[in-house]
Amino acid sequence: MPAIGKACWSTGEEREKAKEEAIEILRFLDNEIKGKKLFGGDNIGLVDIAGNFIGYWFGIVAELLGLEIMTEDKFPNICKWINEYNNCSSVQENLPPKDKLTVHLKARFEALNTSK
């Protein structure tokens, strides 16, 4: 998580270094989920819930920041997991709709940028 956070919020050389570190961590996760529907098997488990940031929030944040780290080409297994995770009814019932969250976060990011 620290590397992903740094990749999102840092700039310049520090961001590039953090992106490389995040990619290494994501490669590890991509390998761990290979051949599985979810980290918890066929049902959502604790690891899937802990991965919620990567599964739901990170894609939105990365898109808004113009940060391309987690592509289907590089991480096909994680992307498959994200799709499975986000399409679970319990996840859909308990997380904000992506379109509304995107609008909210975009406004927050713009407010942060104008206050700098």
What span, in angstroms and rounded, lies between the C-alpha atoms of 37 and 13? 36
The pTM (predicted TM-score) of the whole model is 0.84
| Residue at 52: amino acid letter | N
pLDDT, one tens digit per residue, over 30-73 is: 999 999 999 888 889 999 999 999 989 998 999 998 888 889 99
Write down all domains in the chain, each with its CATH number in brackets: 2-115 (1.20.1050.10)
Q: Which residues pair with 71 in a beta bridge?
A: none
Kindly give, in sequence order, each residue whose CB lies less than 8 Å from that of residue 21, ignoring residues fewer than 6 positions away.
3, 6, 7
Q: Which residues pair with 41 in a beta bridge?
A: 38
pLDDT, one tens digit per residue, over 75-87 is: 999 999 999 999 9
Q: Percent of the chain beyond pLDDT 70?
A: 98
**pLDDT tops 80 at residue 116:** no
Phi-psi category of 34—alpha, beta or left, where left has phi over 0 and alpha has psi -120 to 50? Answer: beta
